[in-house]
A = this chain, B = another copy of it.
């Protein structure tokens, strides 16, 4: 990794190009194995159960349990925001990472790193937020860990959640995009990123946008059980919609053409982006899903998603095309086409 800087930069954690360089140049260099190397939001692993039941003398092989396993550390600042707090976010984020690989979320772990002096009532609110979100998604927090570090060694509270789920839909993968697939987004993008950004000390906008932070398994399950051919799913968190589309294009070797005017965007989010010169496609969502769906099923999936309260504003925003340059092309509202730049640089540290 000789081309890397010799210190870790904020951009290495932004979810953009620098993050991918760190993952490929360092983590894959040392940890490489076929499961990790898929670089999906969740690992999919096979377990061979020690089947001890009564099988009438039949050896129950080939028998396997396919589970998804994922982890995420949450460092969001501030800890409380419109629409949620770090606890709700930590549950929703990991549940969604399991969900988009086609796994029914079952069990979560919770690891707390707490700065000495952290107010107990705040911790209780956060823990309650986790419990409520977990209950609403029907999952259990089954194991945990608590570390307290001296004042000044951490900023308030960091939470790691890891999760396991059972694969109920096989084959979802970034490399699975097919020509003609419809790209569907389940609602407005960038709500979480905009709501956090507006709270930062340097800003203090009174922005009329809540974080969309929410477990999405209920909506995703409806789509997966419908029999529709879904090829890939992703929650557009760090790096936003742009990061998802670039990852998909890169991994599948296909192109993606999107129509900007079809991307759902709340007016205040658009306004904030205009003021700050930010691309809303780089802003984090925490309660949205992007689907790549086979062409013939796209109407059906759109209808299902829109029938769910969290998916009312879903839109088909683009198509998968053959394109040897593997680029993501964005059609502007006045009909011109431009390549959509992948997210890079510092973006917003501690957005999730």
Q: Enumerate chain A interface residues (CB-CB to B < 8 A).
A: 1, 4-14, 19, 22-23, 26-27, 30-31, 33, 35-36, 42-43, 45, 47-51, 53-56, 58, 60-67, 69-75, 77, 106-107, 109-121, 123-124, 127-128, 130-131, 134, 140-150, 152-155, 158, 160, 162, 164, 166-168, 349-350
Contact = CB atoms under 8 A, between A and B. Distances in A.
A216 B113 CA distance: 26
Nearest to A352: B147
Nearest to A72: B145
Given A114-B12, A127-B26, A73 B33 contact: no
A147 B143 CA distance: 22
A88 to B, nearest CB: 12
A223 to B, nearest CB: 18
Contacts of A116: 7-10, 349
B65 A49 contact: yes
A22 B146 contact: yes
A1 B119 CA distance: 13
Contact of A114 (B8, B14, B148): B8
A9 B63 CA distance: 49
B150 A10 contact: yes
A30 B130 contact: yes
Given A12-B148, A149-B350, A155-B153, A166 B111 contact: no
- Grouping DSSP codes into helix (H, G, I), strand (E, B) and loop, the A interface class, with mixed when no group exceeds half, is mixed
29 contacts: A7-B116, A8-B115, A8-B118, A8-B119, A8-B123, A9-B116, A13-B147, A27-B144, A31-B110, A31-B127, A43-B142, A45-B107, A47-B47, A47-B67, A48-B166, A49-B64, A50-B168, A53-B62, A67-B164, A69-B107, A70-B143, A71-B110, A71-B144, A73-B113, A73-B160, A75-B149, A149-B155, A160-B162, A162-B162
Contacts of A112: 73
Given A43-B109, A65-B65, A71-B160, 9 more contacts: A9-B116, A42-B143, A43-B142, A56-B56, A71-B162, A72-B111, A75-B113, A75-B149, A75-B153
A72 to B, nearest CB: 5
A109 B8 contact: no
A228 to B, nearest CB: 19
Contacts of A27: 110, 127, 144, 146
Given A27-B127, A147-B13, A155-B153, A53 B63 contact: yes
What are the nearest 8 A-B pairs in CB distance?
A: A13-B148, A162-B162, A71-B109, A49-B65, A43-B142, A30-B131, A160-B160, A43-B143
A301 to B, nearest CB: 23
A56 B56 CA distance: 9
Contact of A36 (B19, B115, B140): B140
Contact of A53 (B13, B61, B164): B61
A51 B46 CA distance: 12
Contact of A120 (B7, B153, B168): B7
A53 B60 contact: yes
Contacts of A158: 113, 154, 158
A56 B53 contact: no
Given A71-B162, A148-B349, A33 B142 contact: yes
